[in-house]
Amino acid sequence: MLRIGALRRELNGGRNSAWLLWSVRSSLLVQYHRLMGVTVDVKGGETATVDDPDTYEDLLAAVELSPHEATVLVDGKPVPEDAAVDADEVVVLRLVQGG
């Protein structure tokens, strides 16, 4: 976790301030989604709310799917399963379905 004193030093020094602000923003978004949960719309299935997913792979596991059988879309674009969750709502598309 980033300490406030380190944040002040970085911002006052002007070094890497854009990276630091992006890092803080990302960290805050992840914490927000852990508190609020993520709405998961599984196409061809049900909609669920998943609390406290760290990664999109964790989110898939919570709806009983694996990255081998489904992909997660955020704003219509696929996201890597090992990325930190930073969206309020996601769509899950099944890649393989019985039939």
Q: What is the pLDDT of residues 5-47, one digit of tens each?
A: 665 665 565 556 666 676 777 676 666 655 678 899 999 889 9
| Number of other CB atoms surrounding residue 91 within 10 Å | 17
Domain that holds residue 50: 37-99
46 and 32 fall within a common domain: no
Q: Are 92 and 71 in contact (CB under 8 A)?
A: yes
User: What's 42's domain CATH number?
Assistant: 3.10.20.30
Long-range contacts formed by 45-53: CB under 8 A, 24+ apart: 45/92, 45/94, 53/85
48 and 74 fall within a common domain: yes
Q: What is the pLDDT of residues 36-59, one digit of tens each?
A: 788 999 998 899 999 888 899 999
pTM of the model: 0.63
| Strands 38-42 vs 89-94: parallel, antiparallel or unpaired | parallel
Q: Which of 55, 51, 52, 38 is nearest to 91 (CA)?
A: 38
Per DSSP, helices labelled H in the chain are 4-13, 17-36, 56-62
In whole angstroms, give the CA distance from residue 93 to residue 60: 10
89 and 99 fall within a common domain: yes
52 and 89 fall within a common domain: yes
